[in-house]
């Protein structure tokens, strides 16, 4: 009866292990299939319905929710968190169930034969609890490394978010500039069409040479070509924006509610921008966490020089079935089968000595990797400093160009209005009017470029600081240049 129990326990252990493996594989497969199904069966935006209307902050919010890069980064964070739980499990003992069945057949025996070499069948079930007591703090350092890796994954996700925000803001502002260029060029084409009719009328009345007619046609064709390019750029930018926001390309979207393109009168302090960047930039945190992980890896490699001490507790059921009975001194047969149940406690010390030098070189490799990451952190800080200074200077330059371009545009509009009146009363030439028209078109284009460059520089400055400003309309809190101390009044 006990023999059957032992056999059944063995089969049960094997069945439980196999079912655990099958269930784990099936669960993982179902989880992956469910995730893929959830991703592939998300309801798309209705391309036949009314167009979506999105402002810049809404674009940023949608992009951070729908962009595949953000979802991949979030999955990376969850992966790192799962690894923390896996490494935490190394602090606990392990329970192992094992079973085996041996059959021993004696081929030849001479002299006095021990019972261990007689024909027999052996069944055994072993339940072992094993606990690592010391391993050079490798388990602790591996667990700490997993925690740092989770922090690193979060920092990398923040970096991905900042990159995406900058991409959305940059393409949104380019779309606004292209739309403004379309409006300016449409006005220019309308003016040039009117001018062309006027020039033809003057030529038919022999009041201007045919050269003026040709020049008006060239100017009109050039403006129409620029208008066509601007319209195409608008559509291209819309496609890019849709892709960044996870919107199907064919879905109509109206990107409006653009931020005010007025240049702020607040003076931003460069030193405070640098301090903000060193504190908030995700790349700095990524570099720091990478160094901390390298430090833990170095500690793990040092721990490999230490011995491993572990404690084991075994509960064993063993059944030995001899195929032939034994005989006592009187020649009477007896049953020599054995049925044993016992436990065993062992304290084990294992110390591996690698004579090939692998442990030494692995430790040296970890040390050099940590030194490399320290130098990389300084390189990151230098690059951030350069980005801050470059974006700051571009912002100041674009700010000054806005005032200059507005002055030039006001003057060009007034000049065009006066020249148009003069030509109507025959006090000015058509050539002068066409030349002033070209200057007006250039002034409008320069105004659009200056206003776009200002916001692009502002977006790059906030990105370089690692600080979010989704709509580019928030005041630069904490970045204003401190007021100069007033002199003592006598």
Q: Are 215 and 209 spatial neighbours (Cβ–Cβ below 8 Å)?
A: no
The predicted structure's pLDDT at residue 125: 92
The predicted structure's pLDDT at residue 112: 62
By mean pLDDT, which of 187-201, 248-262, 350-364, 386-400 is the weakest?
A: 248-262
In this prediction, residues 336-364 reach a mean pLDDT of 84
Average pLDDT, the chain: 79
Instruction: Provide the 8-state DSSP code for 485.
Output: P
pLDDT tens-digit map of 26-56: 444 444 444 444 444 444 455 556 778 888 8
Top-confidence residue, 164 or 183: 164
* pLDDT tops 50 at residue 6: no
* pLDDT tops 60 at residue 207: yes
Choose among 156, 176, 154: nearest CA to 472: 176
The predicted structure's pLDDT at residue 115: 66
Q: For residue 358, name the pLDDT band (cuts at 50, 70, 90).
A: confident
Q: For residue 287, how many other CB atoms are within 10 A of its CB?
A: 20
The predicted structure's pLDDT at residue 28: 47
Q: How far is CA 311 from CA 131, 348, 437, in A?
A: 5, 6, 92
Structure tokens at 255: 């990107």
Q: What is the DSSP string of 235-304?
A: HHHHHHHHHHTT--TTS-EEE--PPP-PPP-PPBPHHHHHHHHHHH-HHHHHHHHHHHHHHHHHHHHHHT
In this prediction, residues 51-68 reach a mean pLDDT of 89
Q: Classify each residue of 57-86 as buried b or exposed e, where b means 16 or more C-beta atoms within 10 Å of its C-beta.
A: ebbbebbbeebebbeebeebbeebbebbee
In degrees rounded to 5, what are phi and psi of residue 108? Answer: -155, 140
Lookup result for tokens 């025959």: 426
The predicted structure's pLDDT at residue 401: 82
Top-confidence residue, 222 or 428: 222
By mean pLDDT, which of 60-64, 143-147, 178-182, 294-298 is the weakest?
A: 178-182
The predicted structure's pLDDT at residue 192: 76
pLDDT tens-digit map of 116-162: 667 888 889 999 999 988 888 888 889 999 999 999 999 999 999 99
Top-confidence residue, 304 or 286: 286
Structure tokens at 129: 């609890």
pTM greater than the 0.95 cutoff = no
* pLDDT tops 60 at residue 66: yes
* pLDDT tops 70 at residue 364: yes
Q: Where are any strands of DSSP class E within 180-249?
A: none
Pairing of strands 52-54, 253-255: parallel
Helix (H, G, I), strand (E, B) or coil at 96: strand
The predicted structure's pLDDT at residue 480: 65
The predicted structure's pLDDT at residue 61: 92
Q: For residue 110, name the pLDDT band (cuts at 50, 70, 90).
A: confident
The predicted structure's pLDDT at residue 259: 45
pLDDT tens-digit map of 318-344: 888 888 787 777 778 878 788 889 999
The predicted structure's pLDDT at residue 408: 80
The predicted structure's pLDDT at residue 42: 44
The predicted structure's pLDDT at residue 314: 92
* pLDDT tops 80 at residue 206: no
Helix (H, G, I), strand (E, B) or coil at 120: strand
* pLDDT tops 80 at residue 439: no
Helix (H, G, I), strand (E, B) or coil at 355: coil
In this prediction, residues 467-485 reach a mean pLDDT of 70
The predicted structure's pLDDT at residue 190: 82
The predicted structure's pLDDT at residue 29: 47
In this prediction, residues 424-452 reach a mean pLDDT of 71
* pLDDT tops 50 at residue 397: yes
Helix (H, G, I), strand (E, B) or coil at 411: helix
Q: Which residues 6+ apart lie within 8 Å of 381 measured at CB?
A: 278, 284
**Domains recognised in the chain with CATH numbers:** 2-18+51-104+118-325+333-465 (1.20.1600.10)
159 CA to centre of own chain: 6
């Amino acid at each position: 009866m006990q023999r059957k129990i032992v056999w059944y326990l063995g089969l049960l252990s094997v069945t439980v292990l196999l079912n655990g493996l099958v269930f784990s594989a099936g669960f993982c497969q179902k989880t992956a299939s469910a995730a893929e199904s959830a991703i592939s069966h998300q309801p798309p935006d209705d391309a036949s319905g009314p167009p979506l209307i999105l402002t810049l902050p809404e674009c940023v919010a949608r992009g951070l929710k729908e962009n595949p890069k953000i979802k991949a980064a979030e999955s990376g964070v969850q992966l790192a968190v799962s690894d923390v739980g896996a490494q935490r499990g190394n602090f606990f003992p392990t329970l192992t169930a094992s079973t085996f069945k041996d059959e021993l057949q004696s081929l030849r025996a001479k002299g006095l034969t021990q019972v261990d070499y007689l024909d027999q069948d052996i069944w055994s079930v072993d339940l072992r609890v094993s606990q690592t007591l010391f391993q050079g703090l490798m388990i602790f350092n591996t667990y700490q490394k997993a925690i740092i890796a989770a922090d690193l994954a979060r920092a990398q996700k923040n970096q991905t978010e900042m990159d995406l925000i900058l991409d959305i803001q940059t393409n949104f502002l380019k779309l606004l500039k292209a739309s403004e260029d379309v409006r300016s060029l449409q006005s220019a084409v309308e003016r040039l069409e009117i001018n062309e009719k006027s020039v033809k009328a003057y030529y038919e009345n022999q009041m201007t040479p045919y050269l003026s007619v040709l020049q008006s046609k060239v100017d009109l064709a050039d403006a129409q070509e620029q208008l066509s390019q601007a319209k195409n750029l608008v559509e291209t930018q819309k496609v890019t924006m849709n892709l960044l926001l996870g919107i199907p390309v064919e879905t109509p979207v109206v990107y409006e509610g653009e931020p005010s393109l007025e240049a702020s009168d607040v003076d931003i302090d460069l030193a405070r921008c640098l301090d903000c960047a060193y504190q908030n930039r995700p790349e700095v945190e990524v570099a720091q966490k990478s160094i901390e992980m390298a430090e833990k890896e170095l500690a793990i490699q040092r721990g490999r020089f230490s011995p491993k001490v572990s404690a084991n507790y075994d509960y064993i059921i063993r059944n030995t079935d001899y195929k032939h009975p034994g005989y006592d001194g009187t020649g009477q047969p007896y049953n020599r089968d054995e049925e044993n149940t016992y436990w065993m406690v062992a304290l084990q010390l294992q110390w591996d000595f690698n004579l090939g030098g692998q442990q030494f070189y692995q430790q040296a490799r970890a040390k050099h990797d940590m030194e490399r990451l320290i130098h990389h952190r300084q390189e990151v800080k230098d690059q951030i400093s350069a980005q801050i200074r470059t974006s700051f200077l571009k912002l100041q330059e674009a700010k000054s160009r806005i005032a200059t371009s507005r002055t030039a545009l006001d003057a060009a509009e007034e000049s065009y209005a006066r020249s148009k009146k003069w030509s109507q009363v025959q006090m000015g030439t058509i050539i002068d009017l066409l030349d002033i028209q070209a200057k007006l078109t250039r002034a409008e284009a320069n105004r659009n470029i200056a206003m776009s460059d200002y916001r692009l520089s502002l977006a790059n400055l906030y990105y370089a600081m690692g600080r979010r400003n989704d709509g580019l309309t928030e005041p630069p809190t904490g970045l204003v240049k401190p007021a100069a101390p007033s002199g003592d009044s006598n």
